[in-house]
Amino acid sequence: MPVTDFGVQEIYDDSFILYLIENVGDDDSVLNGTFSFETGGGPFSIYEGTANYSIPLNESHTIIVRFNSDVAGVFNDIANFSGGGGEAIALSGEATVLTECSKVFENGDNKTSEDPFDNRIVEEFHTPELKVTPLSGAFGIQEIYDEAEIVYLIENIGELGSVLDGTLTFDTGAEFTISSGSPNYSLGTGDTHSITVRFTSPVIGIFNDNANFSGGVDEVGCVPVPLLPIVIPLSGETVVNTINKTLEDGDNKINEDPEDNTIPE
């Protein structure tokens, strides 16, 4: 089977192949036939000319087939020409991701190309970049019920015009919680957002968690692809107070402060 290779092109681009159908039969013959795709065409379609033809002797009919895809991949089909014994031609083409970002407009407005079938305009992509400071999550050692806090500054240090959308999450969120600031953020270029994380526990122990800051984005073929979040390991330890003991009834206090129910032990 003969093969037509449309080659390699970027998504949304076009390639064209012109097929000339001729009647080279006997005198006074008429070639009646139809052009069709084996699998319905997909990225292969008729760009110009009719699928049906009736061709007198020594005359011809032209069909132009276009290859165009809005997704990356390797594509294959078969073009079938009926009439006069028929003919089948294998079609192949490959579409790759865009090296220059474009946007398709259905109404064809604001086009940069004069081709009536090219409804694209070039659109510059603005890539956000996530920065979090500090990268430490060591809360140290403290007594039970005490609190320690770290303020995290989230920044979009990406390209001008970019927007960074993300969220802070914890793997478990038990001893480590947000004490101020929204866990969700949407930052323009150069914008910042602060989130305060608090560590506290009513029991003694060594505790660990992860703070996950999302929002980093890369782009593959003009399609935003989320990056893995920035993960900051969190750690903290709580111990008992070896000097003071809290009394529930407040008796035997040595401190006249009515709010202080401790005695030395």
- pLDDT band at residue 30 using 50, 70 and 90 as cut-offs: very high
Over its C-alpha atoms, the chain yields an Rg (Å, rounded) of 35
Cis peptide leading into residue 233 (ω within 30°) = no
Which is nearest to 200 in space by CA: 248, 261, 149? 149
Q: Which residues contact 189 (CB under 8 A, 6 or more apart)?
A: 126, 128, 156, 157, 158, 159, 160, 161, 162
| Domain extent listing, the chain | 3-97, 130-244
The owner of tokens 């003991």 is: 245
Task: Give the per-residue pLDDT at 49.
Answer: 94
pLDDT at 99: 57
Q: Is the pLDDT of residue 165 over 80?
A: yes
Question: Cβ(187)–Cβ(245) under 8 Å?
Answer: no
pLDDT band for position 226 (cuts 50, 70, 90): confident
What's the CATH number for 3-97? 2.60.40.10
pLDDT at 135: 96
Per-residue pLDDT tens over the stretch 122-162: 455 678 999 999 999 999 999 999 999 999 999 999 888 88
CB 209 within 8 A of CB 174: yes
Mean residue pLDDT of the chain comes to 84
CB 164 within 8 A of CB 217: yes
DSSP state for residue 229 in the 8-state scheme: P
232-261 tens-digit pLDDT: 999 999 999 765 544 444 454 444 455 555
pLDDT at residue 235, rounded to an integer: 97
Q: Do domains 3-97 and 130-244 have the same CATH topology?
A: yes
Which three-class secondary structure state does DSSP give residue 25? coil
Beta-carbon contacts of residue 136 (< 8 Å; ≥ 6 apart): 150, 232
Residue 11 pLDDT class (50, 70, 90 cuts) = confident
Q: Enter the pTM of the model.
A: 0.51
**Closest by CA position to 31, among listed 49, 12, 54, 14:** 54
- Contact assessment for residue 75 and residue 69, using Cβ atoms and an 8 Å cutoff: yes
pLDDT in tens, 49-94: 999 999 999 999 999 999 999 888 999 999 999 998 899 999 999 9
Architecture of domain 130-244: Sandwich (2.60)
pLDDT tens across 198-210, in order? 999 999 999 999 9
> Quick check: helix, strand or coil at residue 40?
coil
The DSSP 8-state label assigned to residue 254 in this structure reads: S
* The one-letter amino acid at 72: A
Q: Can you say how many angstroms the Cα of residue 39 is from the centroid of all Cα atoms in its chain?
A: 30
Residue 62's pLDDT is: 96
